[in-house]
C-alpha cells in the first residue's frame, strides 16, 4: 500500500506542475504582447491608447503617471484625468468688463426712516460707521427727514493676473471728450487772437499788402518770413529754454555728448 502510494505521488505532482505552468505561460505571452505594443506605440506604428474621455495618452508618459492610483480606483483604465485641473476646484474670476457701479440708484428717495438704515443719513446701503456724509447734530433716525438716497451696492470683484493689472478697466471713454472740447476751444481762441493781431498790424501799416505794386522781392521775402514766424510760434515757444547737448559751455553746467 505504501509503495503504491509512493509510486503514484510523482505522477500527481507532475500533473499539478503542468496545470500551473499554463497560466504562467499565458501571463508571459500577454506581457510580451503588451511590451511589443508599447514599443510600437512609441515608434508611432500603432495608434495611441485612449482614456475614458476619448483623449489620446502620450505613449512616452511613464506607467506610474498614466495608471490610476490605487487609492482612487485601481480598476479603472489608464487615464490622465486626475492629473488635469478639476473644474470643481477652479477659482471663478470676474470678467474683464465688470467694475464697480458709480452714482446713486435710480429709484426714488425714501420719505421716512427704515429700520436697519444709516442712523446719520438714513440710506439703506450702509451703516453709520461707514457713512461718508457730514455727521448731523440730530441723525435721520430721530428726525425722519432729509433722507439721503441709496448708493449702488458694490459687488465683490475677483480678478485674475491680467484683470488686476488692467489700467483701463472701468474707464469711461466719454470722459475724454471733455478734454477734446477744452483743447478745441483753446485752439479756436488762439486762431481768433492771431487773426485780430494780424488785422491790427495791417491797419497800422506795419505790414503791406502782398498785391500792392510797390513791394519788392526783399519785402516779399520779409513778409513770408513774418508769416512763417507766426505759424511756428506755437511750436517754438517751449524751445527757447532748452539747451542742446554739447552747446552749453558754462563751466559750472557743462553738458557733454
The whole-number pLDDT of residue 248 equals 53
Does pLDDT of 145 surpass 50? Answer: yes
pTM, two decimals, is 0.38
Q: Which three cell numbers stand for residue 246?
A: 554739447
Mean pLDDT for all residues in the chain: 77
Does pLDDT of 153 surpass 70? Answer: yes
Mean pLDDT of the 130-154 span: 89
Burial class (CB in 10 A: 0-12, 13-18, 19+), 148: buried
Q: Would you give the end-to-end CA distance of the chain in angstroms?
A: 120
| Whether the Cβ atoms of residue 68 and residue 51 lie closer than 8 Å to each other | no
Element (H, E) at 192: helix 175-204
Q: Which residues contact 251 (CB under 8 A, 6 or more apart)?
A: none
Mean pLDDT of the 27-51 span: 86
The whole-number pLDDT of residue 187 equals 95
The whole-number pLDDT of residue 105 equals 80
Mean pLDDT of the 46-68 span: 82
The whole-number pLDDT of residue 1 equals 45
Least confident residue range of 28-32, 208-212, 221-225: 208-212
Does pLDDT of 46 surpass 80? Answer: yes
Amino acid at each position: 500500500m505504501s509503495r503504491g502510494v509512493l509510486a503514484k505521488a510523482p505522477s500527481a505532482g507532475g500533473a499539478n506542475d503542468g496545470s500551473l505552468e499554463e497560466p504562467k505561460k499565458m501571463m508571459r505571452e500577454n506581457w510580451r504582447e503588451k511590451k511589443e505594443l508599447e514599443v510600437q506605440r512609441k515608434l508611432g506604428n500603432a495608434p495611441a491608447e485612449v482614456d475614458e474621455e476619448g483623449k489620446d495618452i502620450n505613449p512616452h508618459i511613464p506607467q506610474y503617471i498614466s495608471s490610476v492610483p490605487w487609492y482612487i480606483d485601481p480598476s479603472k483604465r489608464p487615464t490622465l484625468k486626475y492629473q488635469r485641473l478639476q473644474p470643481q476646484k477652479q477659482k471663478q474670476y470676474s470678467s474683464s468688463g465688470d467694475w464697480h457701479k458709480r452714482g446713486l440708484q435710480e429709484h426714488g428717495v425714501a420719505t421716512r426712516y427704515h429700520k436697519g438704515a444709516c442712523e446719520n443719513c438714513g440710506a439703506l446701503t450702509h451703516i453709520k460707521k461707514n457713512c461718508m456724509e457730514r455727521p448731523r447734530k440730530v441723525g435721520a433716525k430721530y428726525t425722519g427727514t432729509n433722507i439721503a438716497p441709496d448708493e449702488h451696492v458694490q459687488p465683490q470683484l475677483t480678478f485674475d493676473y491680467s484683470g488686476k493689472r488692467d489700467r483701463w478697466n472701468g474707464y469711461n471713454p466719454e470722459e475724454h471728450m471733455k478734454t477734446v472740447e477744452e483743447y478745441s476751444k483753446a485752439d479756436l481762441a488762439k486762431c481768433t487772437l492771431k487773426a485780430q493781431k494780424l488785422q491790427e498790424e495791417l491797419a497800422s501799416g506795419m505790414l503791406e499788402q502782398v498785391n500792392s505794386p510797390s513791394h519788392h522781392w526783399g519785402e516779399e521775402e520779409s513778409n513770408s518770413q513774418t508769416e512763417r514766424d507766426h505759424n511756428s510760434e506755437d511750436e517754438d515757444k517751449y524751445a527757447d529754454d532748452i539747451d542742446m547737448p554739447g552747446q552749453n559751455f558754462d563751466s559750472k553746467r557743462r553738458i557733454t555728448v
